[in-house]
Structures are given as structure tokens and as C-alpha cells.
Amino acid sequence: MKLTAINIYPVKSCHRVELTETRITPLGLDHDRHWMLVDDQHRFISARRYPNLLQLSVETGPAGFIAAYPGLPGIYVRHPQDTAKRYPAKIWHDEVEVHDAGESAADWFSQVIGKPCRLVWSATDSARLLKPGSYPPPPVPAGGRQIAFTDGMPVLLANEASLSELNKHLDTAISMHRFRPNLVVNGNQAWEEESWQLIRIGEVELQATKTCVRCILTTSNPDTGERDPLREPLNTLTNIHNQAGRGPIFGMQFVALNSGKIQIGDKLTIG
């Protein structure tokens, strides 16, 4: 088995950035979901409610990123300085201190979603800590148990064989991009990724944490944001791969136990 795709999403809910190689740390893939939008109550904003965010393209750089959106001039956003305004923001039930990106970014992104919002950044000194019991305790990843603005765990892996199995049950085949994975591998059997405990890709060892229960976001076209009127593939996935009533499952979540480089074509080793 080999690694066939690498994706990051620099701004939470933005369009994917496809890579041929990257670096992974216990915090996740470099540049993955270190930015997000928050509302006037400092609660996170995502494409679940604003699916047009999937049309937001981002190009990362060493000091910030360039964002583009249909109908708007592009904008360059720098990493906030240490003196930038900081405040607590809410992601699901977690609270994390964030750095505000300033008025220009807030104005631009407010035009994107049609509602006042702020763009915020998660520096490493304000990363979220994974809760005890989030995954098996041993071994502890180097650098601790931290995540940036991902929903759950730092790394989401998907299997091409599982997608092929799902597409057999759909009237119209879908792409892997519906599931917004970080890593894609060409597994031998559908759903086998859910049995993996410890894997190695390139220089990085990854520990499995839990399966990924899927949500309404999978029904949005990953390029246009348009919602499927039949709620596919979510309905079909619920019928064919529902984990003990917890919900439709697709993909496995991992945490990196060390830092290192990976690239497309790297062999995946189990155990």
C-alpha cells in the first residue's frame, strides 16, 4: 500500500490544497487548519452552515497566505504579530486562545460569507489539548497531545478501496474530496483502515485514535459548495457503514507520534 494523496485546508472549511510532500508533527500537517473564521460570539464558523466557503482557495507562504474567492479581489493575510489582539474562541466544546488577524481580513471574509466575522490564527502556544481518553494513552506523541482547528484529531486518513465500495452503492460516483482527508492510501480492502492501530508513512509513525463519523458537509460539492438534494453520499453511507448506531463512518483519525516528512508514493507499513 502507498500514499496517493496529501491535502491540507489552511483556513478551516476552505478548498483543499493538494500537495506532493509535506511535514507532519504531533500538531498535524504543516499549515493545516491553523486559521478559522469566528462569529461575533467568537464561535467557529464552518462550511456546514456556509458551504460557499468550499470555494475559498488559499495559497500558503512562510509569513501568511493569499486567499481568493469568486467575485472578490484577492487578499494577502500575514501571521498576526505577538502584539495582536488575543481572545478565547469556541470550537465545539473546546475553548482556545486565538490571535485576531485584523480589520482588513475581517472585512474581506465578512464579504465572503455575507455576515460579520473575524479571521483568527492558532499559534503553537495556544493550541488545544486533546482530552484524556480521546485515544489510547500509550504512547504519548512527542510534543504532547495538541491540535489546531481540526474538528477532532490532527490527521484524517482515507482509503481508496473504501471509496470504491461506497461508489458501488451510489447512482452517481463521488470523489474522495467529499470527505476532506489529509492522507489517502490505496488499500487492498474496503474499511480495513479501521482495524489499523499503528502505521508508518515516510518518516512518520501514526497512532490510530478513532473512526470518523461523517456529517452534512459530505453532501456538499467540494468545488462549488452546492448541496446534494438527496443528501448523498450521507444517506447511503448511513445504510451501508453505520458503526453501531453512532453514525455513518468514513476514514480513520490518527495522531503523529513524531515529526517527519512524507511524500506521495511513500509505502504504508502496518504495525
Domain ranges of the chain: 3-270
Question: Residue 228 is placed in which grid cell?
Answer: 446534494
The dotted CATH code for 3-270 is: 2.40.33.20
Instruction: Say what the pTM is.
Output: 0.93
In this predicted structure, the answer to whether residue 266 has a pLDDT above a threshold of 90 is yes
Joined together, the cell numbers standing for residue 151 give 474538528
pLDDT of residue 141 exceeding 60, the answer is: no
Kindly state the cell numbers that stand for 175: 470523489
pLDDT tens digits for 32-73? Answer: 999 999 999 999 999 999 999 999 999 999 999 999 999 999
Amino acid at residue number 92:
W
Which runs of E-coded beta strand occur in 79-171?
A: 86-91, 94-100, 118-121, 128-129, 146-147, 155-159
Return the higher-pLDDT residue of 122 and 184.
184
Is pLDDT of 171 > 50?
yes
What pLDDT, on the 0 to 100 scale, is given for residue 138?
45
Distance CA 171, CA 173 (A): 7
pLDDT of residue 144: 55
Q: What is the pLDDT of residue 83?
A: 77
pLDDT at 164 over 70: yes
pLDDT single digits (tens) 95-129: 899 999 999 999 999 999 999 999 999 866 666 76
